[in-house]
């Protein structure tokens, strides 16, 4: 796992990492960069910040992120709050965006709640190269 390792993944434009854990954001960013997974990585420390980041992106005429890695437990606006809020943001074109719920341990209750939303999958931290291969496939 060195910086010079060639990309084995399909590259995407933008990945948004939503997590209040600054160290986790650091790790994800580094892992995604090493894997050469995307052109741009945006991080947001909670759902609200993520929401405004998406709106900013749309206002600049940018494409929505291909992948969103979303934590559940966050202050201000948590993961599910963010997903709920997205539903009313109809002007954001998220048809090509895949949302992955990222958590260090998943409560069965959370998994059930997630079923109400269109999420592409669940990732139990830590994020590994194998999981990256999966979500970038």
Partner 1 sequence: MQDQLAERQQSALENKNTELKRINLDLDNFIYTASHDLRSPITNIEGLMVFLKDELTAADALNEDTEELLKRVVDSVDRFKRTIADLTEISRMQKGFTESAADDIINIQDVYDDIVADLAIPAGLKTCSIHTNLEVHQLKFSRKNFRSILFNMISNAVKFQHPDRGCMITLSTRLEEPYVVLSIKDNGMGVNESQQEQLFTMFKRFHDHVEGTGVGLYMVKRILENAGGKIEVTSTEGKGSEFKLYFKSAM
Residues that bind partner 1 (CB under 8 A): 1-3, 21, 23-24, 27, 30-31, 73, 103-105, 107, 125-127
Name, in order, each residue with C-beta under 8 angstroms of 102's C-beta and a sequence gap of 6 or more.
19, 69, 70, 71, 122, 123, 125, 127
Comparing CB distances to partner 1, the nearer of 57 and 125 is 125
Min dist. Cβ of residue 11 to partner 1 (A): 22
Min dist. Cβ of residue 103 to partner 1 (A): 8
Q: Are 11 and 37 in contact (CB under 8 A)?
A: yes
Comparing CB distances to partner 1, the nearer of 73 and 84 is 73
Min dist. Cβ of residue 92 to partner 1 (A): 29
* Cα 54 to Cα 89: distance, rounded to the nearest angstrom: 10
* Cα 88 to Cα 75: distance, rounded to the nearest angstrom: 21
Min dist. Cβ of residue 110 to partner 1 (A): 10
First to last CA, the chain: 20
* Cα 124 to Cα 39: distance, rounded to the nearest angstrom: 24
Comparing CB distances to partner 1, the nearer of 13 and 34 is 34
Comparing CB distances to partner 1, the nearer of 79 and 97 is 79
């Amino acid at each position: 796992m060195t910086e010079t390792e060639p990309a084995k993944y399909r590259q995407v434009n933008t990945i948004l990492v939503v997590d209040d854990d600054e160290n986790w954001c650091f790790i994800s960013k580094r892992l995604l960069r090493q894997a050469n997974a995307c052109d741009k990585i945006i991080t947001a420390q909670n759902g609200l910040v993520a929401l405004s980041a998406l709106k900013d992106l749309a206002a600049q005429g940018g494409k929505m992120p291909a992948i969103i890695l979303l934590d559940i437990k966050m202050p201000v606006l948590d993961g599910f709050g963010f997903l709920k809020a997205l539903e009313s943001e109809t002007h954001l074109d998220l048809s090509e965006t895949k949302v992955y719920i990222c958590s260090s341990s998943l409560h069965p209750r959370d998994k059930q709640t997630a079923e109400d939303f269109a999420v592409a999958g669940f990732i139990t931290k830590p994020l590994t190269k194998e999981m990256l291969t999966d979500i970038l496939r």
